[in-house]
Structure 1
Amino acid sequence: MPDFETLRGLPLVGPWFARARARLADHEAERVARHFTHLLPPRLACEPAERDEVFALRHGVYCEELGFEPEREDRRESDVFDARALHAYVRHAATGAMAGTVRLVTTQGIDERLPMEVHCSEALADATIRPDHFPRESVCEISRLAVPARFRRRATDRFAGAANGGIDTRRYSSSELRCFPWIAIALYFSAAALSRQTGRRHVFVMVEPRLARAMHFVGIAFQQIGPAIEFHGQRAPYYIDRERLPGGLAPGFRRLLVVVDDALAAQRPC
């Protein structure tokens, strides 16, 4: 009898599996939206102590775990873009631990470039859409999304111990475990919410193509605007019109976006 993976690869059956999986994901998003802000409340890093915690989390992920940046003596990862960025994070309510962070880098003038314009200009050389095509006060970039290993969930993590970066199912409730695969999505939604709240319509991001494809599954239709280049692995520049984002989301994901947006709006301005 054919196994699941064989059936999923069949031309007629594969699309059915994709649609069924999308419906299940949307149903799960609806459930997650109901309790996400109670278990993993989205927050703005308004206070110096909060931003310091954000930089410490980023050091753990980007410097110590992934090796993308050199380790620093103060165990804090930050750069020149942080001063003009909005920083969002989610905190695990039961333990108080920061479970993930993301920033939205803003710009006001031509002399304030986005990170991709500084570090990945070759990927934008022949881009179909570029940040400098729009008024500077209307553009922004999502970057430095980081989720600590203990809050990431892969199929193997269900059986891995905490020492291997897995989730220890003895410490968390089943409701909390349902949230963990959604932390990165909620962080992207946090950045999208901040772009709406600050009136920045044109959103850019530099990510792995496979991550962009995964976001399409959610309904976040990132448009690739340039070639993939080597930058901590293969990454390509993407663009999304923030005003079109909600219309591409299924109802469950749209509700999660609204929940995150409302939580952050209640904290602004910092």
Structure 2
Amino acid sequence: METPHPKSNPSERGMPQGDRVREFLEQYRFVIARSRESRYRAYALRHKVFREELRYALGEDTGTPFEKDAHDKHSILCLLHHTGSDRDAGCLRVVLPIGNDGQPRSLPLEESCAHGLTDPQLHPDRFEHSSLCEVSRLAVHPDFRRTRDCALGLRENDLQLLEENRLLPPSPLVTLSLFLAATAIVGLAGRRHVFAMMEPRFARLLKISGLEFRRVGDVIDYCGPRAAYYIDQHQAERGLQSSLRPLYRHIKTSLAPQMLGAAHT
């Protein structure tokens, strides 16, 4: 059963004061998917976005409406739930390369995109497995996206409009909050060295937000043009834009009680 999430209080000290941010905190909550039911909700959302909409050949058991693979067994899955409609707006996973049996495992990108890992200093095999993880399968339901041309649906000018507090829904905070949640989960799981496969244009957009991923591989064709990126979780927390830090603290505080034991399930 999921740990109950405390209701957001927009007047809480240190909480962002923009109207859109307050609305976001009132309408959305993060849930660590621990139960079978909640994990299959994440798989169903991934199936809808990656397979049905974007036509990516991902996961196993392609005849089922659930996109999942072997790495999900040793991953922390997280859902972003829209409370008003009782629907899941987004999801992500943090893959831990040590399974429940304690044996080291490869990161997904080491298996599927090994030829694209070209930085000799920032390669997964340069780090202790216990400090490594990979963020992947970030997806936003099309009804909660700013644009439908990618699984995350965010454009550079959305960030400027957000700063000016003049955006109409859906909020770009849906997408940005998934990356903030991933950063928090990585830290709460005791990991530091984070890898991800993403489009270069999205890495540039995240840099504007203060999440400065470093490209560590060539751009290859992997569900479109993508490259391997790396970020140090400690630096990610320090580098966040000041306007996002209160939101990040709120997300991290809400996830902390749900994370107890999650890295070992």
Shorter-chain TM range is 0.7 to 0.9
Of the candidates 219, 237, 246, which is equivalent to residue 246 of structure 1?
Answer: 237
The answer to whether 1:106 aligns with 2:96 is yes
Instruction: Specify whether residues 87 and 175 from structure 1 end up closer, same or farther in structure 2 by C-alpha distance, changes over 3 A only.
Output: farther
The answer to whether 1:52 aligns with 2:52 is no
- Residue 211 of structure 2: SS of its match in structure 1? coil
Aligned to 1:79: 69
Instruction: Specify whether residues 155 and 88 from structure 1 end up closer, same or farther in structure 2 by C-alpha distance, changes over 3 A only.
Output: closer
State the identity as a percent: 34
Shift of 1:244: 0.8
Unaligned runs of at least 5 residues, structure 1: 1-27, 157-173
Shift of 1:177: 5.1
Aligned to 2:178: 187
RMSD: 2.6
Instruction: Specify whether residues 256 and 175 from structure 1 end up closer, same or farther in structure 2 by C-alpha distance, changes over 3 A only.
Output: same
Whole-Å separation in 1 of the counterparts to 2:130 and 2:148: 41
- Residue 56 of structure 2: SS of its match in structure 1? coil
The residue type paired with residue 221 of structure 1 is E
More helix by share: 1
1:1-270 equivalences in 2 (<5 Å) = 31-69=19-57, 72-108=62-98, 111-154=104-147, 178=169, 180-269=171-260
Instruction: Specify whether residues 46 and 137 from structure 1 end up closer, same or farther in structure 2 by C-alpha distance, changes over 3 A only.
Output: same
Larger Cα-atom Rg: 1
Shift of 1:37: 3.3
Shift of 1:214: 0.3
The residue type paired with residue 131 of structure 1 is P
Instruction: Specify whether residues 135 and 39 from structure 1 end up closer, same or farther in structure 2 by C-alpha distance, changes over 3 A only.
Output: same
Shift of 1:182: 1.3
Whole-Å separation in 2 of the counterparts to 1:154 and 1:58: 17
Shift of 1:259: 1.1
- Residue 52 of structure 1: SS of its match in structure 2? helix
Whole-Å separation in 1 of the counterparts to 2:20 and 2:130: 34
Preserved contact between residue 20 and residue 171 of structure 2 (Cα < 8 Å): no
More displaced stretch, 102-111 vs 229-238:
102-111
Instruction: Specify whether residues 104 and 208 from structure 1 end up closer, same or farther in structure 2 by C-alpha distance, changes over 3 A only.
Output: same
- Residue 118 of structure 1: SS of its match in structure 2? helix
More displaced stretch, 145-154 vs 31-40:
31-40
Whole-Å separation in 1 of the counterparts to 2:175 and 2:219: 22
Preserved contact between residue 141 and residue 204 of structure 1 (Cα < 8 Å): yes
Cα offsets for 1:177-217 (capped at 9, x unmatched): 55621111111111111110011000111100000000001
The residue type paired with residue 59 of structure 1 is H
Cα offsets for 1:46-94 (capped at 9, x unmatched): 1110001110000000100000126833200000000000011111110
- Residue 77 of structure 1: SS of its match in structure 2? coil
Whole-Å separation in 1 of the counterparts to 2:253 and 2:233: 16
Aligned pair count? 227
- Residue 180 of structure 1: SS of its match in structure 2? coil
Shift of 1:266: 2.5
Preserved contact between residue 30 and residue 251 of structure 1 (Cα < 8 Å): no
Instruction: Specify whether residues 214 and 176 from structure 1 end up closer, same or farther in structure 2 by C-alpha distance, changes over 3 A only.
Output: closer
